[in-house]
Amino acid sequence: MRHVIAISLVLAVSLTGCTKAKKAPTYDGENLPPDVAGNTSPSATTAALNAAVSENLPLSEQQDFEDAKRGLIVSDPELRISNAEGETVWSMPSYEFIKGDAPVSVNPSLWRQARLNNIHGLFEVTKGVYQIRGYDLANMSLIEGKTGWIVVDPLTAKESAAKAMAFVREHLGDKPVSAVIYTHSHIDHFGGVLGVVSPEEVKARKVPIIAPEFFLEEATSENVIAGVVMTRRSMFMMGPFLPKGERGHVDTGLGKGVVYGAFGLLPPNETVAKTGAEMTIDGVRFVFQNAPGSEAPAEMTFYLPDLKTFCGAEVVSHTMHNLYTLRGAKVRDPVRWSGYIDEAIEMFPDVEVYFGSHHWPIWGHDRIIDFLEKQRDLYKYINDQTLRLALHGATPREIAEELELPETLQSSFANRGYYGTLKHNVKAVYQRYFGWYDGNPSNLDPLAPAEAGAKYVELAGGAASLLEKAQAAYDNGEYRWVAELVNHLVFSDPDNQAARELLAKAYDQLGYQAESGPWRDVYLTGAFELRHGGPTQGVDLALYMDMIKHASLESFFTAMAARLNAPKADGKEMIVNLVFTDIGESYVLELKNSVLRHYKRDPRPDANVTMKVTHDLYLKMLTGKAGLKDTLFSDDLDIDGSRLDLVSFFRLIDKPTGTFDIVTP
């Protein structure tokens, strides 16, 4: 999984005003809202569908539960994590309701996965290898070296990583961190690094920070340009605004949820550029497999040959993963992904222990190979069979309805759609090869949703008639059709409360039925916003200060260009020099033809204005820590030329706050 790097503003924003952001809400289990999001009761149709899941899957199978509990040293049933302001950012007690049989309002298969992910604490994987699970979305793994702990994937936030590390030291000994390994470039695997080791320690003790090739670029730049949209959509995918409960958030399928704390980054000082690279780290032998373009743009696995132990990172997990993630991202390559798993099977033929960046380990050579082979063939099957049906003319939606996994693959719980799903992964494969257009001329230039909605409502005989038909479909359990039909009315008339409530009720039922944690959260968040409205404030970039300071300046200028308001810039031409006085770099921004370009070069003498600024002040401006007054009168800023021209230039840059509507126009 990846929590997006929510870089929603650029240098220009602070010069024209910045929206103060609110953090994702937290619930500790004892302080739930009095109205649990207003959800409706599960319908008879939902109850029947969920009952059928229980009948058709061996949910009582205990091997996964035995594996998830194996090696438990100690757990903390009262585990809560707070930030510097004393606010709760993580609470395992809030998931205590997940026990016993599934309630009618939760897909029993997802409930099983949620119960497995509830098993938390400090575990011994094998001699010298330990894991902390249940302190964040991901796992933090620790390998005992000669002098200290080799920390693998230090979680999402400083708060959760520090709490986990303190727990380890309390029960296993107060050893220093001798190395840090980032398996891949998603924030839930590096954002908490400052909670386990400080920059000063790294420098003084020469602590290796090891990552795959191109890690830093991918970790800091992936969402710079599109971060606003990704952040807003991740609120649906991860459900942070939903209360935890039988009719709310229960699990992501990949782990319990995301810790919204302080995010940081220590740049790697050693990189893995090729498969087969060997290192001895604090006395422990490693063999690395480079796997770029699989689950992450920069990713690697590793093998501990002396322990016959394989860390699969997030290339393999106890779930079908995403070829396309619902928050929005580039489609991943299932063929390469499958190939890396096959390569790992060939590279490490004597493996006896597996552990990963999420979920629980597996022991025993034959069981591990079976797990790897089924994960390998899962992604290849989705790719090949989607293409086969496309070659016969089937469209993405048709393929998603038709394609099923063979029994040998779908019978494995590790291949179930708890995080990714077969339906949206099929569409991702189609998109990767053929793009968004399905070939049907009617889909080439369709009407915008609000305009189409009005015409559908008119065709249905008006709002009352459409609602009558939709209510009948709802009573008949046709929730997907209700969602499609009533969505037209909501986009035609967003103030129609009867339409909003009926659509929300349909989303409730679809959420209750979903086997995928993200699908459940998407539906229930949609229902929540239809009833209560969307967010009113955006993202607090100050939380990302310790991470974005490592991003390239070019990535921010690219983001600035994507925020240029072209209609306002029509006919305007301007040249702005930006000189970063403390790092010795200069950039020229050129506005022409309603396009903003940047060049890393010496200042141009014909520029309208030259702005000399320190990198530190630039970051404070970026994150909203320094406003217009602070900036213009700071000793760290010098302006040659018209300040009015500078302000006029920055006013051409949009200030997206990430509060746009999704379930309404």
3-state secondary structure of 125: strand
User: In percent, how much of the chain has pLDDT > 90?
Assistant: 82
Cβ partners under 8 Å of residue 115, min gap 6 = 65, 98, 99
User: In percent, how much of the chain has pLDDT > 70?
Assistant: 92
> Mean pLDDT across the stretch 531-546?
77
* 37-46, 94-103, 331-340: range with lowest mean pLDDT: 37-46
pLDDT tier at 20 (50, 70, 90 boundaries)?
Answer: very low
Rg of the chain taking only CA atoms, in angstroms:
26
At residue 548, the pLDDT reads 76
Say yes or no: domain 552-650 is CATH 3.30.1050.10: yes
Q: Which of 186, 182, 195 is nearest to 150 (CA)?
A: 182
Contact indicator for 23, 241 with CB cutoff of 8 Å: no
Query: Cα–Cα distance between 508 and 42 in angstroms, integer?
Result: 8
- Which run of H or of E encompasses 486? helix 479-492
CATH 1.25.40.880, the chain: domain bounds: 446-532
Name the H helices within 119-176. 158-172
Structure tokens at 524: 């229930």
At residue 647, the pLDDT reads 87
At residue 25, the pLDDT reads 38
Query: Cα–Cα distance between 275 and 278 in angstroms, integer?
Result: 9
Whether the per-residue pLDDT at 519 is higher than 60: the answer is yes
Query: Cα–Cα distance between 620 and 15 in angstroms, integer?
Result: 11
- The per-residue pLDDT for range 101-127, each reduced to its tens digit, is 999 999 999 999 999 999 999 999 999
- The per-residue pLDDT for range 311-339, each reduced to its tens digit, is 999 999 999 999 999 999 889 999 999 99
Averaged pLDDT of the chain: 91
CATH 3.60.15.30, the chain: domain bounds: 23-432
- The per-residue pLDDT for range 373-390, each reduced to its tens digit, is 999 999 999 999 999 999
Say yes or no: domain 23-432 is CATH 3.40.630.10: no
- The per-residue pLDDT for range 132-175, each reduced to its tens digit, is 999 999 999 999 999 999 999 999 999 999 999 999 999 999 99
- The per-residue pLDDT for range 462-490, each reduced to its tens digit, is 999 999 999 999 999 999 999 999 999 99
Q: Where are the beta strands (DSSP E) in 312-391?
A: 353-355, 362-363
At residue 540, the pLDDT reads 66
Structure tokens at 504: 């929300």
Give whole-number Cα distances, 619 to 11, 397, 548, in Å: 8, 44, 8
Whether the per-residue pLDDT at 37 is higher than 60: the answer is no
pLDDT tier at 14 (50, 70, 90 boundaries)?
Answer: very low
Whether the per-residue pLDDT at 636 is higher than 80: the answer is no
- The per-residue pLDDT for range 230-273, each reduced to its tens digit, is 889 999 999 998 999 999 999 999 999 999 899 999 999 999 99
* 308-322, 509-523, 527-541: range with lowest mean pLDDT: 527-541
Cβ partners under 8 Å of residue 169, min gap 6 = 175
> Mean pLDDT across the stretch 430-441?
96
> Mean pLDDT across the stretch 587-606?
97
pLDDT tier at 194 (50, 70, 90 boundaries)?
Answer: very high
- The per-residue pLDDT for range 646-656, each reduced to its tens digit, is 889 989 999 88
* Residue 410: count of CB within 10 angstroms of its CB: 17
Query: Cα–Cα distance between 151 and 408 in angstroms, integer?
Result: 36
pLDDT tier at 441 (50, 70, 90 boundaries)?
Answer: very high
Say yes or no: domain 446-532 is CATH 1.25.40.880: yes
At residue 330, the pLDDT reads 87
Query: Cα–Cα distance between 341 and 360 in angstroms, integer?
Result: 18
Residue where the block lists tokens 């390469």: 336
DSSP letter for 492, please: H
- The per-residue pLDDT for range 22-35, each reduced to its tens digit, is 343 333 333 334 34
CATH 3.30.1050.10, the chain: domain bounds: 552-650
- Which run of H or of E encompasses 284? strand 284-290
- The per-residue pLDDT for range 607-634, each reduced to its tens digit, is 999 999 998 888 777 666 776 666 766 7
